[in-house]
Structure 1
Amino acid sequence: MRFHCSLLFVLPILFTLTACQSLPNTEQDFSTQNNVINKFPLSTAVQIDYQDEVKLLKINQLLVEQKDLDARQYAVLFYERGVIYDRMGLAAHSRYDFIQALSVDPTFADAYNFLGLYLLLSESYDEAFDAFDSALELSDNMQYSYLHRAVGLYQIGRYQLAMNDIEKFYSLDQNDPYRVLWRFIINSKVDQLKALQTLKSSTQLSNDPRFAWAIVDVIAGRTTEKDFLESLSYGVNTNKELAERLCEAYFYLAHWHQLSGHLEKAVYYFKLSTATNIHEFIEYKYALIELGAIQRRLQTGKDKK
């Protein structure tokens, strides 16, 4: 799922830009305790896009040469460069540019939203919540700030508050399969059986072709995990499309297995999600957060394989 942005303006300049770990010794064959599956589809890790490199050069040139831009235009350039750095996986550069955008224009809701996500990745939860709060106060279009704030609250064990935010996020588009999945993940921490029943009651509209509904079907028990994995490449034409699909699929399956007590498989799936190198997807970013959280719990003896 791409990081959604709500930029509603265009710079009157030369071009228009749009925004939206390695896996050690990974094998395609993997034995599981319940013997559900045997093979895992993989893609080639996605590399930096040449067009992004070209856009980055143009933005750098504009920042140096254009002297008559107003504060908002400078902020947009910093923001757009930050989005490109994010796609490239250059987290420090990206975070710095979002801070730069806000220093020029403190009313930039999209920059607050993106910065909050990076603050979550660095476990700076109070600052992250402040950033999401600012985004929501400044714009009615920052729906994903509810999701990100819910995930942060979930990570620190404030489950009831997380549920409030995820219900708000879900209510804004009840036909979105990703919101159905996130609602299940967050609410399962309070009542897993009820969360599962709620997910099972969610229905796909006849004209909605989104792949994520297939993930919902697996968790709901309408499709087997084996059949789902075998169908992952159907309708995919490029390695990039396959990598994006795998990034999402492995992430949500990892959460499902983690909630079911299958920690070893969950860790493996989270690693497969990050192995795609789809840095701009929130599933990639949150897989990193989950792997870090699992490692800390294992070190303190709170989880067992």
Structure 2
Amino acid sequence: MKSIVKFTGVALFAVLQGCASLSTDVPRSAMNGLIIAEPLPVDFKDEVVIARLSDALLRAELTQEQRAELFYKRGLSYDNVGLYNLARQDFNRALRLKNDLADAYNFLGIQLTQLQQFSEAYEKFDSAIELEPEHEFAYFNRGIALMYGDRAKLAVDDLTTFYQYQANDPFRLLWLYFAEREVNAEQAVANLAKRAELIGDDNWAKNIVKLYLGELSQTQFINALADNVSSNRELTMRLCEAYFYLGKFNKQLGNSKIAENYFKLSLATNVYEYVEFRYARVELDMLKQASTDIEIKR
């Protein structure tokens, strides 16, 4: 894969840490072999869909329900290419025409969480769940919003519900762990270890869980990132996830500067629709706010 670049030595030191010193929790060998892939380009199909839906919305003969559906679909396409403000406008337009679109409420809740407008986000997720009590991703996204909004105990309830829909999914397990850790860190690790037994060894993301359990070092985790990857697209999508969770891991260790740069690497993939891409920006904002608070106290 020609577009894969590996940074070593001084070059990667600059990428990860800038002028700050490395924490002893991160071995210098972890700097070797960091993989950077090309950011995903905007999918031509999404551009075509947006153009066609925009043309269709100009037709006067559309019913109110049809127009609502088209606004919702165009909102999805805008969301897929990272045009979140335009997507939010279309979701709101869809709901003004048809107020029972659970998925539109769910996406609005996600975007409000990204903006850290948590109270408004909770309301949107509540509406989605009221309309569709089995809307598993509304529980997931409300759980994330609750966690970032410092309501960890409530977040655990929602993320447990989401996890139970598919207990062998490592990502569901990890987000539940993040919320549980805010309540009881020791118990969260024990729960993580127990639940990890249900994850198949053929799932690459099990390595993320092993990283958090101390069964893999950061160096080993990074060295395995390109294993069994057959395309740049697949690699980029994996890196979006991997660097986000490396950021969370280093934030957990207190390595804020390194965490910050991993979140930036996740954002650099342009995998707009991934939950990891969406919340890497929130994580960065929170790290910056925490740094500002420390400076003010000094």
TM-score by length of 1: 0.85
Q: Do 1:297 and 1:303's aligned partners in 2 also have CA atoms closer than 8 Å?
A: no
Matched residue, 1:56:
50
For structure 1, which runs of at least 5 residues remain unmatched after alignment? 1-25
Residue 76 of structure 2 aligns to a residue in which SS? helix
Matched residue, 2:123:
130
Residue 265 of structure 1 aligns to a residue in which SS? helix
Residue number among 118, 132, 135 corresponding to 2:111 in the alignment: 118
Deviation sequence 1:18-37 (CA, Å, 0-9, x none): xxxxxxxx953446323421
Task: Tell me if 1:80 matches 2:78.
Answer: no
The amino acid across from 2:71 in the alignment is F
Q: Do 1:251 and 1:269's aligned partners in 2 also have CA atoms closer than 8 Å?
A: yes
**What is the alpha-carbon distance in structure 1 between the residues aligned to residue 207 and residue 53 of structure 2?**
39
The alignment yields a C-alpha RMSD, in angstroms, of 2.2
More helix by share: 2
Matched residue, 1:295:
288
**What is the alpha-carbon distance in structure 1 between the residues aligned to residue 227 and residue 42 of structure 2?**
25
For structure 2, which runs of at least 5 residues remain unmatched after alignment? 1-9
Q: In the superposition, relative to structure 1, how do residues 27 and 285 fare at CA in structure 2: closer, same or farther (>3 Å)?
A: farther
User: Post-superposition shift, 1:209?
Assistant: 3.5
**TM superposition outliers: structure 1 runs of 4+ over 6 Å:** none
User: Post-superposition shift, 1:73?
Assistant: 2.6
Q: In the superposition, relative to structure 1, how do residues 85 and 157 fare at CA in structure 2: closer, same or farther (>3 Å)?
A: same
Matched residue, 2:98:
105
User: Post-superposition shift, 1:238?
Assistant: 2.1
Q: Do 1:243 and 1:276's aligned partners in 2 also have CA atoms closer than 8 Å?
A: yes
Task: Tell me if 1:42 matches 2:51.
Answer: no
Residue number among 134, 137, 144 corresponding to 1:144 in the alignment: 137
**What is the alpha-carbon distance in structure 1 between the residues aligned to residue 238 and residue 199 of structure 2?**
21
Task: Tell me if 1:179 matches 2:172.
Answer: yes
Query: Higher mean Cα deviation, 180-189 or 258-267?
Result: 258-267
Q: Do 2:169 and 2:199's aligned partners in 1 also have CA atoms closer than 8 Å?
A: no
The amino acid across from 2:166 in the alignment is D
Q: In the superposition, relative to structure 1, how do residues 202 and 27 fare at CA in structure 2: closer, same or farther (>3 Å)?
A: farther
1:1-305 alignment runs, 5 A limit? 27-29=11-13, 30=16, 32-34=22-24, 35-36=26-27, 37-39=30-32, 40-65=34-59, 67-203=60-196, 205=198, 209-301=202-294
Q: In the superposition, relative to structure 1, how do residues 253 and 178 fare at CA in structure 2: closer, same or farther (>3 Å)?
A: same
